[in-house]
Structure formats: C-alpha cells, structure tokens
Structure 1
C-alpha cells in the first residue's frame, strides 16, 4: 500500500490526501498517517523539482573523473560544490561520475578547470555535455 501512495505522490507531490485515499482505497487519515511515517523513516521526501533551463542554468554535463588514491575526499569535495547535482562512485572507466549544472559554457569551463581538475587526487576528467535532455523522471522504487 505504501508503494501505491508513493506512486501517487511521484505523479503530483501536492495531491490531496483524500484524492490519494480514493485512488488507493484508504481513508484520508490513513494516507496522512502513512505519508508521515514514510517521511519520518526517510523512505521519501516531498520536494520541488526545478527545470534548470527555466531558472537560468542552460548548460548541463556529466563528468567522468579518475582519482589517484582514496575516492572519499574527492567525492566529499564535489558534493560541497553548488554546481554538482549528482555524485556517484562507480566501477568501470571512471572512479566518479558527476552531473554538473551551470549558467553557461564559461561557467561550465570554470567549474571543470578551476574547481574539479584542481582538487587534490583528481588524475583526469572527461566531460559529456548534454545537448538535449530526452527523459528525466523520479519514479524510483515503484516501477
């Protein structure tokens, strides 16, 4: 039942509890209680998701990073950067993959050259500039 509630909220995070209750077969009070439990347990968050283009962030890229030595200090430094939206340790060609969102090409270049490449331990980077975003969803865990 919790997955059905989460799915309803993934479609519209502002959907009224009464509407969710009708869709999943529970009372409004039961839905409210379950949603609060899911929030308290850290199973989900209800947040506003912005479109970077509409808020002036016109350049996005994925950056593959190879690191010399321990990954944690580099990953921690990347997570502290406002431009880094997504930081993941990987197995494969890169030690880390980082999604960065910037205002324009100059901001992207500055972020890569002056912030990322200068971090102690960064051995090399490879950038994959997004030309067009075809799909982005937040339906994890229910499908």
Structure 2
C-alpha cells in the first residue's frame, strides 16, 4: 500500500500520543477532522496502522529478553509459528546472520523466564540453540519515522491547548 507524506505525518502524531483526537491531528498536519478520520480508517483497514497501549517492562517489574534462535531440521515457519503461540512472546522475526529467528519475550521474573526457556522454547521441534539477551536498560525506544522529518511542533501547535 502506498502511503504519502500526510499519512506519515498522521501516523507520527499517533505515535507521539495514540489518544490524540482527529481534530487535533488535523490542525497539526493541515487537514480537516473528516480527512484525518478517512485516512486513519483507510490505514487501519489495510493493516498499516494499529493503535495500541504499550507497557514498560521495567516499571511493571517484568524481565524483558531478546531470544536469538537457530533452527535445524524443520521449516523456519514451523518454529516461528510455535513461538508465536506462546503468550510471553511479543515479537517474532526471521533474520539473516548467525541466528534464524529473533523474538522479544516478557516474563514475570527470572524463574518464569527459566521455565519458558527450558520447558517450552527449547522443546519446540527444530530449535537447535536459543540465546537469551536480557534487557538491562532501554536507552532508546521510538516509533517515529527516523530521519523522515522534524517532529518539532509548529507555531500553531505550540499555541493550541492540548
């Protein structure tokens, strides 16, 4: 699907605040509320845009881990599908390099992580090797279009009450 500069600016506004109204977004990007609503609906229907709540694992006391996995003897898609079924797994991607799959996992604590790795992940047919990379501190976590445009508020945005 083709998205244009206005679509990207609408998406950026939602990335900064997913609860921002269509009217506020319209004032920020120079469109009417109806135009923003129509573009939002089109982006959502086509699967380009999904607005969700995000949690901070550290503030919740959870353990966040990236799992790097090597697969042998079975199709990669089989292992990816099996990993996707695990509630703790938030993200699964195939990749190139020393690993075949990268996953993001959240667990209640280290005991939960140990159980997940030893009793479930390593028992999936085809998982040859799984390396857990524990997140100690998130330095940057952004969902803005990197380098696409400056997201500094315009003069009108700074004047309008939020």
| Alignment TM-score, normalising by the size of structure 2 | 0.81
Listed one character per residue, the Cα deviations across residues 69-113 of structure 1 (whole Å, up to 9, x for unaligned) are 211111100000011111111111111111111000000111111
Q: Which runs of 4+ in 1 moved over 3 A?
A: 53-56, 140-143
In the alignment, the residues of structure 2 paired with residue 119 and residue 76 of structure 1 have an alpha-carbon distance, to the nearest angstrom, of 10
In the alignment, the residues of structure 1 paired with residue 51 and residue 134 of structure 2 have an alpha-carbon distance, to the nearest angstrom, of 29
Gap regions ≥5 residues in structure 1: none
In the alignment, the residues of structure 2 paired with residue 110 and residue 142 of structure 1 have an alpha-carbon distance, to the nearest angstrom, of 41
Listed one character per residue, the Cα deviations across residues 9-35 of structure 1 (whole Å, up to 9, x for unaligned) are 111111111111111111111111111
Secondary structure of the residue aligned to 2:131 is strand
2:92/2:103 contact within 8 Å kept: yes
Listed one character per residue, the Cα deviations across residues 29-58 of structure 1 (whole Å, up to 9, x for unaligned) are 1111111111111110111112223444x2
The CA RMSD over aligned residues, in Å, is: 1.6
The one of 15, 35, 51 equivalent to 2:40 is 35
1:12 equivalent in alignment to 2:17: yes
In the alignment, the residues of structure 2 paired with residue 18 and residue 51 of structure 1 have an alpha-carbon distance, to the nearest angstrom, of 29
The one of 67, 70, 78 equivalent to 1:66 is 70
In the alignment, the residues of structure 2 paired with residue 88 and residue 133 of structure 1 have an alpha-carbon distance, to the nearest angstrom, of 20
In structure 2, relative to structure 1, the CA distance for the partners of 1:131 and 1:55 (3 Å cut) is: closer
The one of 94, 98, 109 equivalent to 1:93 is 98
Count of residue pairs brought into register by the alignment? 142
1:53 equivalent in alignment to 2:53: no
